Amino acid sequence: MGDYVVFHAPAWPGAYSIYFFVIGLSAALFFLSTLSWFRAEFGVLRKSAFYLSFVLLAVGGLVLIGDLSQPLRFLNTVNPAYWNMSSPLVWGSILLVLFGLASVLYFLALRSGNEKSARSWGVLGSIVALGLPIYTGFDLSIHQHRPVWNTPLMPVLFVALSLLSGAAVASFLAKGEVALLGVLRKLMLWSAGATAVMLLSLVVTTAYGGSAEELTHLFMTTGTLGLVFIGVGLLAGTAVPIVLLLAPMGRQQTGLWLAAALLLVGGIALRYSIVVGPQIVQTFYS
């Protein structure tokens, strides 16, 4: 296994997990803002969810640029002369630019009170936004010899995590609207359930894979990273919120907020574990 290892330090630092979190959250909040044009209960989220989405998009861009050894290289990602269209990173750059443009046009339409234009840009922006968690999942899944990453589940998992985080944050922006909180509760339940099933699949698959998979499973389920992945991500950040949301207190605002807070913490822990964990094996070979 060590014969095929080129880099002996994690190539993807933990900062990428922050980027994955904020960009997925930005996409989900934009989508929830757009829903306000089609479902009345989401009306309270129209501006607040969008403004937060826009701020998070800017933060995600800064995190991504700051991680480059030469930040000005970011200009190459938006220069068609440097594009390799078979690379998910290129598609990610295109999606980020298009999402930023759609967000600006959506903002201008909101400010001018042009509902028809705002609705149109919201729909187009939501379609582009869906591509953000999908491309981040593909960024990982194309690594053929990387346990956990190299699975078709990655893009789907990142979409579920995006919706989960978005619904959790939206519950704090809902201003106590009972109808909206009820919808967000269901969205959190379904997304958390789907996330739990996919994570269980990943854990079981790595446990019964080859030597690299087994070592990755060991690193991700024991020690410090095991505490982050299993303790915070799977148990405190996924299983406990599901139980809370199913219990009577989960139908009340306080219980819903507690579950939402745990889901957000769990979402960060899961992304960190998924980014860092599969890279640990290579650091043991020289």
What is the tens place of the pLDDT at every residue in 56-66? Answer: 999 988 887 77
Residue 83 confidence (pLDDT): 65
Residue type present at position 217: H
Residue 78 confidence (pLDDT): 64
As a CATH number, domain 2-284 is 1.20.1630.10
Tokens 């609207």 found at: 177
| pTM of the predicted model as reported, rounded to 2 decimal places | 0.89
* Statement: residue 264 has pLDDT above 70: yes
CB of 285 closer than 8 Å to CB of 5: yes
Residue 90 confidence (pLDDT): 74
Query: Rounded mean pLDDT of 245-251?
Result: 92
Any alpha helices (H) in 39-152, and if so which ranges? 46-67, 74-77, 88-112, 115-141
Residue 211 confidence (pLDDT): 82
* CA distance linking residue 159 with residue 134, whole number of Å: 6
Query: Rounded mean pLDDT of 29-55?
Result: 95
- On average, the pLDDT of the chain sits at 88
Which tokens belong to 17? 């997990």
* Statement: residue 6 has pLDDT above 60: no
* Statement: residue 1 has pLDDT above 60: no
Residue 2 confidence (pLDDT): 44
* Statement: residue 93 has pLDDT above 90: no
- Domain locations in the chain as residue ranges: 2-284
